[in-house]
Amino acid sequence: DAGVIQSPRHEVTEMGQEVTLRCKPISGHDYLFWYRQTMMRGLELLIYFNNNVPIDDSGMPEDRFSAKMPNASFSTLKIQPSEPRDSAVYFCASSPTLIHQPQHFGDGTRLSIL
């Protein structure tokens, strides 16, 4: 079975540029989550979707961050304009409907903003 697929695996760009991270969840999973991991702040939930609808975006740090889920098999996290402090590993995860199901994580995107 294919797991959660994230692209790109690595992204290096200059500050001010737009960055788009992509995620394909596991087929049949109704929930999709975006996380950010840094040494200083650990693993932070940015936003999650249920059936393509954003449910909780309280973790999105600023208006520069936006996330969309146009269909059940694709989501994007966009940063515009990017800043050096956005450098982190960004994970996408998906899970089935029930609360008592684990989240399955993608391999992450390592983002470096110069």
Partner 1 sequence: AQKITQTQPGMFVQEKEAVTLDCTYDTSDPSYGLFWYKQPSSGEMIFLIYQGSYDQQNATEGRYSLNFQKARKSANLVISASQLGDSAMYFCAMREEAGGNEKLTFGTGTRLTIIP
In whole angstroms, what is the distance from residue 112 CA to residue 114 CA? 6
Q: Which is nearer to partner 1, 80 or 112 (CB)?
A: 112
Q: Which is nearer to partner 1, 64 or 72 (CB)?
A: 72
Burial 56-85 (b: 16+ CB within 10 A, else e): eeeebeeeebbbebeebeebebebeebeee
* Per-residue contact flags (x/-) with partner 1 for residues 74 to 93, judged by CB under 8 A: ---------------x-x-x
**Contact with partner 1 (CB under 8 A): which of 12, 15, 43, 114?**
43
Those residues with Cβ within 8 angstroms of residue 51's Cβ, 6 or more apart along the chain or in another chain: 30, 72
- By CB under 8 A, name the binding residues for partner 1: 31, 33, 42-43, 45, 48, 50, 55-56, 89, 91, 93, 99-105, 107-108, 110
